[in-house]
A and B are shown apart, each in its own frame.
Chain A
Amino acid sequence: MTPYLKLDHVDKVFTRGKVSSEVLKDINLNLGKGEYVSIIGHSGCGKSTMLNIIAGLTRATIGGVILEDREVNSPGPDRAVVFQNHSLLPWLTVYQNVRLGVDKVFAKTKSRAERDEWTMHNLNLVQMTHAKDKRPSEISGGMKQRVGIARALAMEPKVLLLDEPFGALDALTRAHLQDSVMALHQKLGNTIVMITHDVDEAVLLSDRIVMMTNGPSATIGEVLDVPLPRPRQRLELASNPVYLDCRKRVLEFLYERHKFVEAA
């Protein structure tokens, strides 16, 4: 089977003046269609850089990203990103924020009425239709992130990229939103790449967990399959031996073999 999304020998070197530092080294990763893959690692290991390379916001120094047999090296709506800090445009309403992407992506294929309907449909998916005329400053952090997800989903991306989407939220809101994302993945079957530093989140949501070694020159240390059946229930999993084993293996990787060394 040819992979849906492929990272092929990706290296990233940042050069500032005469100093250059290698952030990522020889990243190889294949994703199947509909797969949910998490990338986990200590801060500074280049996870976000890796996501930005997939998104096309940063270019790989060596190697490239192949999506459906075509190389992608500039940003586009086929790889929609849900940003860590939601990044909604504060002067637009919730509806307008989602509509902005819809208008661009479906400019030729959908009529005005259809685009309106599609925008509302996606707001409905994340249960945000009630706040459609509010501005981002008027809604809570969790709601903002929901709108961010709706904006990304509305572009009908081939791959949905989540950059620590729940990082800035409180624990209860985070759990609630994780359930929403899980339900959406179940319903829509998107291919998802998620950056996280939360072990429970990674195990709960992913089909596979990609564990990164520490930077500089970070690379993929290990890939763990999470053989838990879907739909998954947070409460039942808490005592599930497979879940606990996966969790333990990620923890071992992060805290024994690749301990975070401050200012190495």
Chain B
Amino acid sequence: MNMQVIKTEPATALAKPPVASVALAPKQAPNYDKYIKAAKDAAARIIPPLIVFALLMVFWELLCRRAGSTLPPPSKVYQDTKELIFDPFFDRGGIDKGLFWHLSASLQRVAFGYSLAAVVGIALGTLVGQSVWAMRGLDPIFQVLRTIPPLAWLPLALAAFRDGQPSAIFVIFITSIWPIIINTAVGIRNIPQDYRNVAAVVQLNPLEFFWKVMLPSAAPYIFTGLRIGIGLSWLAIIAAEMLIGGVGIGFFIWDAWNSSHISEIILALFYVGIIGFVLDRMIAGLGKLVTHGTSVS
């Protein structure tokens, strides 16, 4: 009520004695400004990419509209894939499923393989960072193994596991573990001697030292490794799924290519990009949350 009065007739509102409305007036102004500022900031971040996106779409449309172009323009992509976009949840058995199911199958594989890589990677990284002998023994091996391309592991994994699912998970694991190991090791090696001294004086046992000093101190490094790892595992799963088949966004793309549904490939690529971006931001956000206050000493 009062607010409305102020908006329409500020003079009368101020003339009235109630303290509340008088107090409200100066309080409201900065708040209002704050919202405008926040909106402006958001607009400054959102509008430029939107403009560029729109321009790219127009350019693409013009480029691919001509007769005989090999790729469809965006308008055709939209028409061809309308069904897939608006009904991602259908399931007609086999691999004839909505995109949601394909994506969730891929994400599940990544979740398994990546979680395993995170646990094993942090453990191995801690070992290598803490022990000079472990570093001397393991580091050269890691340096060689990490250069092997993800897909090169797939045949070996298929031979070992004789099944697509564990093989795909293994490829994720082996792809994403190296940056996690290496960054964790660097983080552990960089724990300030001061913190070690504190732990020694307080007489923390090795387990307490690991949880209470090592992990938090190395967390910024660990999260750098985790972030690189999630990116790599998302790269690897698409490629691996193309080869192992079954439900999954990678095979969806391959299948679309085999049936010449180019529009579906483009839609799938769009989703893959968005999900990769979200995964990266999720790990970055988690890192920010966990390492709050760690970087400043």
Interface positions of A (Cβ within 8 A of B): 55-57, 74-77, 79-81, 83, 85, 87, 89-91, 100-101, 104-105, 135-137, 155
Assembled-state Cα–Cα distance A83/B202 (Å): 13
19 A/B residue pairs, CB under 8 Å, sorted by A: A57-B201, A74-B200, A81-B197, A83-B194, A83-B197, A87-B195, A89-B198, A89-B212, A89-B213, A90-B296, A91-B216, A100-B202, A101-B201, A101-B202, A104-B203, A136-B297, A137-B293, A137-B296, A155-B202
Closest Cβ–Cβ distance, residue A115 to chain B (whole Å): 14
Contacts of B293 in A (CB 8 A): 90-91, 135, 137
Contacts of B292 in A (CB 8 A): 91
Contacts of B192 in A (CB 8 A): 87
Query: When the two chains form their complex, are residues A55 and B296 in contact, meaning their CB atoms are under 8 A apart?
Result: no
Query: When the two chains form their complex, are residues B198 and A83 in contact, meaning their CB atoms are under 8 A apart?
Result: yes
Range of interface residues on chain B?
Answer: 20 to 34
Closest Cβ–Cβ distance, residue B107 to chain A (whole Å): 31
Answer whether residue B104 sits at the interface, using C-beta atoms and an 8 A cutoff: no
Query: When the two chains form their complex, are residues A75 and B213 in contact, meaning their CB atoms are under 8 A apart?
Result: no
Contacts of B213 in A (CB 8 A): 89
Answer whether residue B294 sits at the interface, using C-beta atoms and an 8 A cutoff: yes
Q: CB within 8 A of A57: which of B200, B202, B204? A: B200
Contacts of A135 in B (CB 8 A): 293
Give the dominant DSSP class at B's interface: helix
Contacts of A80 in B (CB 8 A): 201
Contacts of A75 in B (CB 8 A): 197, 200-201, 203
Contacts of B217 in A (CB 8 A): 89, 91
Contacts of B297 in A (CB 8 A): 90, 136-137
Closest Cβ–Cβ distance, residue B199 to chain A (whole Å): 9
Assembled-state Cα–Cα distance A197/B277 (Å): 55
**Chain B 205-246 residues near chain A, CB threshold 8 A:** 208, 212-213, 216-217, 219
Assembled-state Cα–Cα distance A155/B198 (Å): 12
Query: When the two chains form their complex, are residues A76 and B201 in contact, meaning their CB atoms are under 8 A apart?
Result: yes
Q: Which 6 A-B pairs have the closest CB atoms?
A: A137-B296, A87-B194, A75-B200, A91-B216, A90-B297, A135-B293
